[in-house]
Structure 1
Amino acid sequence: MSLFIFLKVLAICLVGAMSPGPSMVVVINNAIFKNRYHGIITSIGHGIGISIYAVFAVIGIGMVIKTNLILFNSIKIVSIIFLIYMGVKSIFNKEDIDFENKNIMGGTKSFFQGFAISILNPKILIWFIAIYSQFMSEKNAFLFNAYLVITAGIVDSVWYMFLTVLTTSSVSLNFVKKNHYVLNKITGYIFILIGMALFVDIYF
């Protein structure tokens, strides 16, 4: 593998990770309204979900899912339900925020949220099929395919970890302390709007 290909894959994965969407909202929401630890755990869960879709794209399962409209839309519907659930929960959440980062337990739920928001977004799979197709060949070595998968997961996790650190800085937290109830409701409505947009995408 040439240095050019190495850097090209790295850049493509970074651009994909940086694209705004429901994943970014989930990670930032957990980082701000729980704490930095939960944001990092959410990032790791999201990266693992991304890696699974990268595997599907590399070995060809992704094409089967993409061409099966019922399966594809079923994944979308589950994603819609999950997003609306997250939105309603966020809007009516009255719990205090752990600004002191004392609560570093219970990361399983945050991990699952990160994993779910990535694995329930079939558009990520389409993106991988479209982007990785230029690198796919019957002559591809196992190590190169492994690089495609591992890079996708690591770059994604690292990007969201960076966002977590950025949004939990002292300046950001001071702002959140003063406005966290309003921000909670705003993120909740964003989740619901994204879910409704996915619904419109399927049925209209």
Structure 2
Amino acid sequence: MVNVSLFLVMCILLIILPGPDTAIATKNTLTVGKKGGLQTIIGSCCGLLIHTFAAVIGLSAIIVKSAYVFAILKYVGAVYLCYLGVKTLWALKALRSQQIEENDETITDDKYDSHSSFKQGFLTNITNPKVAVFFLTFLPQFVDGTGNTFLPFLTMGVIYTALTAMWFVFYVYLLDKISAFMKKPKTKTIIEGLTGTILIGFGIKLALEKAH
């Protein structure tokens, strides 16, 4: 692997940019709590590891080259993101009808569980073909193509996943610390409304993404 320092800097910059994973982690941290946020991170990182291994063995290359396979993954991911966005916006109806914050927290904890958070994080990541494209276009820039690329690709994918996990753990704990403010009915309504809209936006953007 070459340009290790540049690789790490680029990883950090790319990871902190908000995306579908950030939106899902935000939603689940606010609705389920710290446990839900952490389970979402685990799900997202499992998806990243699968994309890493897929890139290493060449499956990602097949996805990128096959317009049919790319389209299937793209639309599945787009529909799922839109579904989560609509579900989040729909939940605002129930949120507005709740009379006190304590009841809101109790109902929320009963309605959602960590398994659902893990599934949402995993499916959001694994059904996004842009992640496969990212690994194929980003990682090769830091590898000397004259030698065996298996180990360098695997190492970079694991490093990227680890950095992603560290960033989101910090992000979830930060949200949890300010949850008293974030969980106020008015604040929560605004946040969930924005999150739902962003998720739908990401879904539409993904659906319009063209295979190259």
- The question of a shared fold, defined as TM-score above 0.5 by the shorter chain, is answered with yes
What is the total number of aligned residue pairs between the two structures? 198
User: Would you say the 8 A contact 2:30–2:182 is kept in 1?
Assistant: no
State the match for 1:98 in structure 2: 105
Aligned partner of 1:111 among 102, 118, 121:
118
Distance 1:136 1:177, change over 3 A: farther
Moved over 4 A (4+): none
The 5-angstrom pairing of residues 73-152 of structure 1 reads 73-93=71-91, 94=94, 97-98=104-105, 106-134=113-141, 135=143, 137=145, 139-140=147-148, 143-152=151-160
Separation in structure 2 between the aligned mates of residue 144 and residue 126 of structure 1, nearest angstrom: 17
State the match for 1:43 in structure 2: 41
User: Would you say the 8 A contact 2:139–2:153 is kept in 1?
Assistant: no
Alignment RMSD (CA, Å): 2.7
Give unmatched runs, 5+ long, in structure 1: none
User: Would you say the 8 A contact 1:167–1:173 is kept in 2?
Assistant: no
The answer to whether residue 68 in structure 2 is matched with residue 70 in structure 1 is yes
Q: Report the TM-score when normalising by structure 1.
A: 0.84
Q: CA deviation at 1:149?
A: 2.6
Structure 1 or 2: more helix by fraction: 2
Q: CA deviation at 1:125?
A: 1.2
The answer to whether residue 193 in structure 2 is matched with residue 185 in structure 1 is yes
Identity %: 26
Q: CA deviation at 1:162?
A: 1.4
Q: Report the TM-score when normalising by structure 2.
A: 0.81
Separation in structure 2 between the aligned mates of residue 201 and residue 159 of structure 1, nearest angstrom: 27
Q: Give 2:41's aligned amino acid.
A: S
Distance 1:102 1:80, change over 3 A: closer
Separation in structure 1 between the aligned mates of residue 161 and residue 182 of structure 2, nearest angstrom: 31
Give unmatched runs, 5+ long, in structure 2: 96-102
User: Would you say the 8 A contact 1:58–1:136 is kept in 2?
Assistant: no
Q: CA deviation at 1:102?
A: 7.4
Encode CA deviations 1:49-105: one digit per residue, 9 max, x unaligned: 112112222232211110101110111100111011101111121266538x977x9
The answer to whether residue 32 in structure 2 is matched with residue 24 in structure 1 is no
State the match for 1:176 in structure 2: 183
Q: CA deviation at 1:142?
A: 5.7
